[in-house]
Amino acid sequence: MPEFPFLSDPGHRVIGRYGLLNPDNPRGIPHPTTLVIDREGVVRWKFIEIDYRIRPTNEMVFEALEMVRGGG
């Protein structure tokens, strides 16, 4: 099973940099987001949704990963 880093951002610097801050949430919680970032740190695909119940499908994420890998 591959390992992935987990980001903790208590100062909201990364959330702010990616423009994910939810202005309607006073606690600074970002909009639910899935990012595919390449090895150089470039965002190659993103899924941002205001409704936390709406998430990308596994197929959508796998397709984005394949595009980054050069397979699509």
Query: Which tens digit of pLDDT belongs to each residue from 28-43?
Result: 788 889 999 888 889 9
Is the pLDDT score of 4 beyond 80?
no
Q: Return all residues near 38 (Cβ < 8 A) that are at least 6 apart.
A: 44, 68
More confident residue, 29 or 60: 60
Cβ 47 vs Cβ 60: under 8 Å = yes
Which band of pLDDT confidence, cut at 50, 70 and 90, is reported for residue 19? confident
Q: Domains of the chain: which residue ranges? A: 37-72
Q: 49 vs 13, 21, 33, 46, CA distance in Å?
A: 20, 12, 7, 10
Is the pLDDT score of 3 beyond 90?
no
Is the pLDDT score of 46 beyond 90?
yes
Backbone angles phi, psi at 57, to 5 degrees: -75, 160
Which band of pLDDT confidence, cut at 50, 70 and 90, is reported for residue 72? low
